[in-house]
Amino acid sequence: MRAAVLDSFARRGRHLAFRATADPYAILVSEAMAQQTQAARAADYWTRFMVEFPTVHALATATPAAVLRAWRGLGYNRRALALRKAAIAIVADHGGRVPDDLETLVRLPGVGPYTARAVAALAFGRPVGAVDVNVRRVLSRAIGGSLDAFGAAELQRVADASVPLEEPGTWTHALMDIGATFCRPRAPRCGGCPAVPWCRYALASSRDAVSGDYEGTGLRAARERPARFETTSRWLRGRLLDLLRDAPGEAWAAIPTSMGGHDGGSMTVALDALVRDGLAERHPTDRRRARLPIA
């Protein structure tokens, strides 16, 4: 299976901008962006971000406001601040060089087990398995036969054991591509997957004439109609943050009394949440003005 997966990736792997670099810092940035964001979309933002912050020193010396402006459109904005803190730690504690061992990587601010393993494998060739949601699906189905075949610790052991010693980075990208392209959460496209001859899930599905499993249940559950996104606090926080991004430099932005269907009370709650998360700061004397943090 490993040979077939690597051969398929060599012939038809996705061409993403950040896959062309071996720079550990650039790879760290790409992995921070790709969390909870489609890889192709993250690649576009990564290219622009690297122009503005081409080195770890450039990111470490940037203001939070500059980083948040460059992150606009990616979502999950606290990741941007965490990435900046990681850059500061790399400069202060590691001489400006991204650490090359897993234990040190995972201690960087905002770098969890997945990101640490991805950087270790992709940048430094360490034979460790990086388990994101795509890889989890592929290995759980192929090796275990179902999405819930393994607990987290056991899955990590399976992932580490699956890594070819000579091509850990290529293997990481290949599994992610299979998860994104074939091994979908619903109705996986087993017919085109290079792992299918060895996949326990596909073999069982073929025997039982099962078209696909579902995350959590195979039954189509009745769902409540979701609330319009514009009515949610997440939408409001995003619009407020964009308002602050639009203010030039260190200028304070006036906060309107309402936005969309949200009244003044909702505006206050949303702005307070941004301040707590370190994404905004209030004017010292005028609570109706705020800006992106500058230090």
31 annotated active-site: yes
Q: Give me the helices (H) in the chain, please.
A: 2-12, 24-34, 39-52, 56-60, 64-70, 78-94, 102-105, 113-124, 133-139, 152-162, 168-181, 200-208, 233-246, 264-276
CA gyration radius for the chain?
22
Single out the residue of 117, 221, 104, 209 nearest to residue 160, CA to CA. 117
Strand order in the sheet with 289-291: 253-254, 289-291, 281-282
Kindly report the backbone phi and psi dihedral angles of residue 164, in degrees, each rounded to the nearest multiple of 5, phi listed first.
-75, 135
* CA 180 – CA 98 distance, rounded (Å): 28
* Of 31, 224, 230, 281, catalytic: 31
Q: Which residues have C-beta within 8 Å of that of residue 84, sequence separation ≥ 6?
A: 59, 60, 62, 64, 67
Catalytic residue numbers read 31
